[in-house]
Amino acid sequence: MDSTLVADITALLGPHYVVSAPEALTTYDADACVVDTHAPDLVVLPRSHEEVEAIVRLARKAGVPVVARGAGTGLAGGATPIQGGLVIATTRMDRILEVDVRNSRVRVQPGVLNFELSQYLKSYGYQFAPDPSSQKACTIGGNIANNAGGPHCLKYGFTASHVLGVRLVLPNGESMWTGDGTPYGPGYDLTGIVCGSEGMLGVVTEAWLRMTRLPEAVRVVLALFPDVETSCATVSQTIASGFVPSSLEIMDALTLKAVNGMYRLGLPEDAGAALLIEVDGVEEGLDTLMQDIEGIARRNHATEVRPARTAAEQTQVWAARKNAFGAMGRLAPTTFLVDTVVPRSKLPAAIREVQRVSGEYHLPIANVFHAGDGNLHPLVLFDRRVAGESARALEASSDVITWCVEQGGTLSGEHGIGLEKQKFMTLVYSREDLAAMAGLRHAFDPAERFNPGKVFPQGSGCGELAEWRRKGIAWRDLLAGRVCLDAPPDHDTVGGALWV
C-alpha cells in the first residue's frame, strides 16, 4: 500500500481508525462465506459522509481498489477484497440521524444494525420490516448492498421495497442522492439500481428508509408434519386460498434435531418437518384467519399444531428458526449454506432433489427455508478437516443450484452473487444481459475499482470491459447490435470477452 495514501488517511481519521497490521487485516479477509480469503492492504473506519468522500478521493488518486464492508455477515463472499486494496468498514457509521413520523420514514447511516433500528422505532409504533436471520448483527448498508430478505419478506417485501433513497459516494469521489426520501419520484429508479448492486456502484453513507407500522396483533403457530412434502403442500394451499401470512418457514427433520436440543422446544423425535406460520394485522378476525390456515395444515396430515400463546413463546420459536444455521454446529463442524429459489409449486420436488444429492455425495443436507416465496437454504454438513469433503460439499451445492435454475428458479433469493455464485451467472443470463449489467456498472465506475472481480463470471475477460475499451468498442454499440457477439474470440469484436 502506498505510504503516502496511508499517511493521508491516518491524518484524516486518526491512527485508531486505520488498520494496517498484517494480523489485524486477516479479520477482514472474508465475510461469513469463506469461499476464498484475501487480506486487504488497508482497512479504514470512517464516521461521516465527508470522511468517506475524502477517503474515496485519496484512493482514486492512488489507483487502489475499494471494497465497502458492513458487519461481514454476508454469505456469498461479496465483501472479500480479492484484489487487496482498501476496505472501507462502515461499522462506526451507526447513527440514526432523523425520524420523520409524519412521513413514515427514517434517515440512518449504513452501520446501524438491522435489529437495533427496529427496536429503536418501536417507541414510535413502527418497525423496519426486512428482517434477515442475521438481523442482530447485520447492518443496513449490507442489507442494501445485497437487497436482503428474511422470513417476513413474504408479506412485506425485500430491502429494496423499504429504501426511499441513498446518499452515495461515487467512485470518482463525488456524491449524490438517488432519491429525495419520498416514494415514486420521477426519473430513473437509481435507488433500485443501488439496492442489490453489491458495492460496485459506490459507498452508501446515508439512507432514507420506509418505516412500517407495527401490527396490532400477531399470532404464531408451529405445525408438525410427518415429512417436508406435506408441509410444502400446506404452504401452497394457504397461498392459493388467498391468505397472505406474514411468514411461512419450514425446518426439516435434521434441522429440528439441531434446534430442538439447543432451544429445548420439546418437539417429538419423529417429527419430519415443522412449519412456522405467522399472521399479523388488526386483532379482530386474526384468530379466525389462523384457524383457517390451521385447518389447511390438519387436512395435510399435520400431526400436531402448537400455538405460541405468549410473547415469550413466540420469541422462543422465532429464535429457534432464526438461529437454525448456528445450531448446525451441533451436527457437523462445517456447513456450506446454499441460497437458491424455485417456483413455490416445485418445493416438494426440490427437497427430493436435495435428498438425492445428499445420498450421491454421502453428505447430510439440512433444509430450512422461506417456503412462502420458494427461497431454499439447504445446508451441506461436512468436516473440512477430512480430505475431499470440502470439494464434495461444493459439488453437491453446485448440483442443487443447477437443478433449481433448470426448474425455472434463480441463483439467489437474498444473499447475492458475490464470489460464490458468479460462475453460475451464465446459467441465467445471456451475453446481452451481462453486457447490459456491465454497461450499467461501467457508467458508475469506468475503472472498475469498486469491489472488483465480483458478480460477473471470471475468466477469458468475463464481465470485464478492458477488452472492449482496448478494441475501441462501446457497450452501447454492443447493446444496439452494431457488433457481433457470435464471432470467434480472436475476431475483432467482443465475442469471447464476456463468455468463457
Same domain, 196 and 239: no
Q: What is the CATH number of the domain that holds 285?
A: 3.30.70.3450
In a domain, 489, yes or no: no
298 and 265 together in one domain: yes
The chain-wide mean pLDDT, for the chain, equals 91
Residues 181 and 121 both lie in one domain: yes
Domain finish residue from 326, 350, 385: 326
| Same domain, residue pair 361 and 381 | yes
What span, in angstroms and rounded, lies between the C-alpha atoms of 272 and 355?
13
Higher pLDDT, 86 or 187: 86
Band (pLDDT 50/70/90 cuts) for residue 115 is very high
Residue 455 has pLDDT above 80, yes or no: yes
pLDDT at 279: 98
Residues 208 and 263 in one domain: no
Question: Does residue 4 have a pLDDT over 50?
Answer: yes
pLDDT at 254: 95
Give me the percent of the chain exceeding a pLDDT of 90. 85
Q: How far apart are CA 39 and CA 409, in angstroms?
A: 34
Q: Can you give the CATH number for the domain in which 187 is found?
A: 3.30.465.10
For 270, the domain range is 217-326
Distance CA 340, CA 346 (A): 12
**How many separate domains does the chain show?**
5
Where among 213, 242, 265 does a domain terminate? 213
User: Would the pTM count as exceeding 0.85?
Assistant: yes
Residue 488 to residue 500: CA distance in whole angstroms: 12
Query: Coil, strand or helix: which one is 479?
Result: helix
Q: Are residues 101 and 199 in the same domain?
A: yes
Shared domain for 102 and 209, answered yes or no, is yes
Question: Could you tell me which residues come within 8 angstroms of residue 385 by beta carbon, excluding any fewer than 6 positions away?
Answer: 333
What is the reported pLDDT for 333? 93
393 has a pLDDT exceeding 70: yes
For residues 139 and 161, what is the distance between their CA atoms, to the nearest angstrom?
17
Say yes or no: 138 and 208 in one domain: yes
pLDDT above 70 for 418: yes
* Per-residue pLDDT band at 262 (split at 50, 70, 90): confident
Distance CA 139, CA 278 (A): 25
Q: Which three cell numbers stand for residue 38?
A: 484475501
For the ranges 7-16, 403-412, 452-461, the lowest mean pLDDT is seen at 452-461
Residues 135 and 205 in one domain: yes
User: Which of 59, 89, 119 lies at the terminal end of a domain, its last residue?
Assistant: 89
pLDDT at 468 over 80: no
Residue 499 belongs to a domain: no
Does the pLDDT of residue 470 top 50, yes or no?
no
Are residues 231 and 279 both part of a single domain? yes
Same domain, 202 and 101: yes
Structure confidence by residue, pLDDT tens digits, 175-230: 999 998 998 878 899 999 999 999 999 999 999 999 999 999 999 999 999 999 99
Do residues 101 and 195 both lie within one domain?
A: yes
CATH number of the domain within which 10 lies:
3.30.43.10
Per-residue model confidence as pLDDT tens digits over 338-371: 999 999 999 999 999 999 999 999 999 999 999 9
pLDDT for 459 equals: 60
Return the pLDDT at 477.
Answer: 53
CB 160 within 8 A of CB 130: no
Cell numbers at 207, concatenated: 439512507
